[in-house]
Amino acid sequence: MAKVTGLEGVVAAETDISLVDGENGHLIYRGFWAKELAITSTFEEVAYLLWYGQLPNTAELEAFKGQWVADRCLPEHVLSLLKLLPRETPLMSVLQTAVSAMSESQYSWPPSVEQALKITAVLPIIVAYRYRLENGLPLIEPLNQLDHAANYLYMLTGVIPEAAHVKALTAYLILGMEHGMNASTFAGRVVSSTQSDLISALTAAIGAMKGPLHGGAPTEVIAMLDAIGNKEQAEDWIRSTLEQGGRLMGFGHRVYKTVDPRAEALRQVTARLSSEDPWFELAIHVEAAAIKLLDEYKPGRRLYTNVEFFAAAIMRAIGLPSALFTPTFSIARVVGWSAHVLEQAAINRIFRPQSVYTGPMPTEQVSK
């Protein structure tokens, strides 16, 4: 039996949810370019697409958004749990615990779009409430007239967010919704394949997401942009770093061997908004300088901008602290996780891979 470490290259399922093509730099959501959806669509529209397989018409979208607002309600026992967990508990662990405490009776097998919508609508509330509790701030109730991204920012800060920041965060969240059979999505599908409930599948997915090799955060990119400071210093700083053998954070990707389509979409968004926020303007300038110098210092390495570079500019511009980076990513990815759980349920067969035994054999035959 051939050994494949980490299941790399092994096909575990067929899916019509998304295509991740690293060689050609393609990311497709149900027949649509993800980068175009990020620029032209709302979070709610793309969630509808991933769950139902098509974009909504006007009537469908209005009904969908109405249900979304109605589902912005955190159960009282979950709120009590958020207040009781020790302050030092990492936010991703809090999120995992809070999700696991949601009523299983409302999320019993088989999973449904209604269940997916309910948990997607409530995840930002869990994160925002806990963040404010940790910082000794009063809780802020959802504002029904705000969409998903805007309401999340409002519940974190108590201030109606700037339109440029909402647009940028929406694009980031759309591009974070789905990315093929990654570790957290696979974890969720494995749990769902046992006919366990949606909550259990999402709890497993969050557990995988909080691992540093998966969820990650653009913290180091932000540190780099902070160190550069302004456009005038960009080229000298980058050249000095490369000459000393240092790494430029936010460039290169394990899957994409060409331009990361998510970075391409976020570049377009930040370029359009660069006149409205100095961090967007700096990011656009630094990326151009870095690409030029990487080609000069590391020719043939195919080091292109990845999604974390522009995610960092967005997080820095909207003032999101680093503790919120991976939870915010999870607020987006729950759409993809639940889409995969729904797909798994429709064609279910329990996952049961084999392993290769590498331990010692007994020295004697056991007598019968």
Residue 353 φ/ψ region, left for φ over 0, alpha for ψ in the -120 to 50 degree band, beta for the rest:
beta
Catalytic residue set: 253, 308
pTM for this structure?
Answer: 0.88
- pLDDT score, position 94: 97
In the chain, where the domains are located:
14-212+325-346, 219-318
Percent of the chain scoring above 90 in pLDDT: 57
Q: What share of the chain is helix, strand, coil (3-state, %, to 5)?
A: 60, 5, 35
- What is the rounded distance in angstroms from the CA atom of residue 69 to the CA atom of residue 144? 6
Going 6 to 11 to 15 to 19, the CA torsion angle's sign is positive
- pLDDT score, position 12: 75
Question: For 14-212+325-346, CATH number?
Answer: 1.10.580.10
- pLDDT score, position 259: 74
Across 128-142, 179-193, 202-216, 237-251, the highest mean pLDDT is recorded for 128-142
What is the pLDDT averaged over residues 281-289? 89
Question: Where residue 3 falls among pLDDT bands split at 50, 70, 90?
Answer: low
Residue 18 β-bridge partners: 29
Q: Find, among 49, 115, 74, 80, the residue nearest to 342 by Cα.
A: 115
| pLDDT top residue among 269 and 45 | 45
Asked if pLDDT for residue 274 goes beyond 80, the answer is no
What is the pLDDT averaged over residues 4-11? 68
- pLDDT score, position 13: 79
Lowest mean pLDDT of 46-50, 190-194, 232-236, 271-275, name the range: 271-275
- The CATH superfamily of 219-318 is Cytochrome P450-Terp, domain 2 (1.10.230.10)
Asked if pLDDT for residue 1 goes beyond 70, the answer is no
What is the pLDDT averaged over residues 342-367? 85
Asked if pLDDT for residue 341 goes beyond 80, the answer is yes
| pLDDT top residue among 102 and 129 | 129
What is the pLDDT averaged over residues 206-228? 83
Lowest mean pLDDT of 105-109, 130-134, 202-206, name the range: 105-109
- pLDDT score, position 251: 80
Cis previous bond, 110, omega within 30: yes
One-letter-per-residue 3-state SS of 79-140: HHHHHHCCCCCCHHHHHHHHHHCCCHHHHCCCCCHHHHHHHHHHHHHHHHHHHHHHCCCCCC
User: What are the C-alpha distances in Å from 200 to residues 51, 207, 316, 344?
Assistant: 19, 11, 33, 14
Q: Residue 290: which H helix or E strand, with range?
A: helix 278-297
| pLDDT top residue among 171 and 307 | 171
User: What are the C-alpha distances in Å from 142 to residues 115, 218, 323, 335?
Assistant: 20, 27, 21, 20
Residues with Cβ within 8 Å of 198's Cβ and at least 6 positions away in sequence, in order, are 107, 111, 115, 116, 119, 192, 338, 341
What is the pLDDT averaged over residues 265-285? 83
Asked if pLDDT for residue 367 goes beyond 90, the answer is no
Percent of the chain scoring above 70 in pLDDT: 93
- Residue written as tokens 């967010």? 161
Residues with Cβ within 8 Å of 181's Cβ and at least 6 positions away in sequence, in order, are 12, 13, 15, 189
What is the pLDDT averaged over residues 273-281? 80
Question: Where residue 98 falls among pLDDT bands split at 50, 70, 90?
Answer: very high
Question: Where residue 55 falls among pLDDT bands split at 50, 70, 90?
Answer: very high
What is the pLDDT averaged over residues 7-12? 70
- What is the rounded distance in angstroms from the CA atom of residue 305 to the CA atom of residue 303? 7
Residues with Cβ within 8 Å of 57's Cβ and at least 6 positions away in sequence, in order, are none
Asked if pLDDT for residue 199 goes beyond 80, the answer is yes
- pLDDT score, position 117: 97
- pLDDT score, position 147: 96
Q: Find, among 193, 198, 196, 201, the residue nearest to 347 by Cα.
A: 193
First vs last C-alpha separation in the chain: 29
**For the CA atoms of the chain, what is the radius of gyration?**
22
Q: Beta strands of the chain (E only): which ranges?
A: 18-21, 26-29, 32-33
| Average pLDDT in the chain | 89
β-pairing, 18-21 vs 26-29, is antiparallel
What is the pLDDT averaged over residues 18-31? 87
